[in-house]
Amino acid sequence: MHSKNGLRLFFLFLLLFTALFDGLLLYTQSITILFLINGFFVMWTPAIASGVARLLNHEDWHDLSFRWHTRSIGIACLLAVLFPLVIGFLAYGTAWITHLTPLLPFHATGDLEDVMEVAAPFAPSAGPTLLLLQAGLALLLTVISIIAAAGEEIGWRGYMLPRMVEGKVPGAIIISGLIWSLWHWPQILFSPPVASMPQIVTASIFLVTITALGCVSAWLRLRSGSMWPPIILHAAWNIIIVEIFNDFTQGVDTSLWTGEPGILVACTMVLVVGLLSITRVKSSTTYK
């Protein structure tokens, strides 16, 4: 009962804060405010909602573990980095080989483009200084991605998932991934169409991809007992798939076949996660 009360409070404040920040995104015209809301406040909404739920439900923070120094957690973090690489090479590689999506020269878009624009006035044309600047930008983008991903993961896998497991919610892993993907729908439905597809089609393909990703993230969280593997998976996904692989195609989520709402990415995710499920890894039995 205590877990279910916590879930009710979490979903209540999640809806309130999401409505507030998504509403601000729709009405503000300031690029700076848009960046702050979308890059920080929206992604930290689940963490804020979980914090309020903990306080009102008189829960402590002992289950929110940030352990990292054990071998199993190290392996889980390595898998978290490798997973989006595998998905990227399989999905995008197929798209490039079959010419469904062109392989273009790298062109930064999204957050990477924003970071590079800020650094452009200070960038030399060549030499060791340029290499240092590029390394610094890569490190900065990684840190930003980890901080942003932590905001979501503290709420989804740090609070919601354990409460669903403790409350014996049937199919907790799949349902948690489904809720996570549906949470993104308002921004998709009110955004311009991708590859001339209706927004509801884009949102439905995205739902398949992110629900599958949520299952992997939940498995890493439950197997390791630490928040670091899901945070690293989330950040690695955003950097490797959303930024790097997309920047070798047509930009951020502009293709019917690639990107988070891409058909090939969704199919690859279902195939890979399905193969992982066949191994019969029972994640919930390892959660403590």
CB 182 within 8 A of CB 78: no
Q: Which residues contact 224 (CB under 8 A, 6 or more apart)?
A: 72, 73, 76
Domain boundaries, the chain: 68-286
d(CA 252, CA 46): 24
Distances (CA, A) of 89 to 55, 94, 223: 43, 8, 26
Torsions phi, psi for 197 (to 5 deg): -90, 145
Distances (CA, A) of 119 to 109, 238, 251: 14, 21, 20
Q: For residue 197, count other CB atoms closer than 10 A to its CB.
A: 15
Q: In the prediction, which pLDDT does 247 show?
A: 84
pLDDT digits (tens, 9 = 90+) for 60-77: 998 999 988 888 999 999
SS3 197: strand
**In the beta sheet, which residues pair with residue 197?**
194
For residues 187, 26, 230 and 143, what is the CA-based torsion angle, rounded to 10 degrees? 140
Length of the chain equals 288
Percent of the chain with pLDDT over 90: 56
In which residue are the tokens 């590689």 written?
Answer: 93
User: How far does Cα 3 stand from its chain's mean position?
Assistant: 25
Q: Among positive and negative, which fits the CA dihedral 262, 264, 265, 267? A: positive
pLDDT digits (tens, 9 = 90+) for 18-49: 998 877 777 765 555 666 666 677 899 999 99
Q: In the prediction, which pLDDT does 137 show?
A: 74
The model's confidence at residue 284, banded by pLDDT at 50, 70 and 90, is very low
Average pLDDT over residues 215-228: 95
Q: In the prediction, which pLDDT does 276 show?
A: 86
> What is the value of pTM for the model shown?
0.87
d(CA 56, CA 120): 47
SS3 284: helix
d(CA 208, CA 67): 30
Average pLDDT, the chain: 85
Torsions phi, psi for 194 (to 5 deg): -100, 125
Examine the pLDDT at 139 and tell me if it is beyond 60: yes
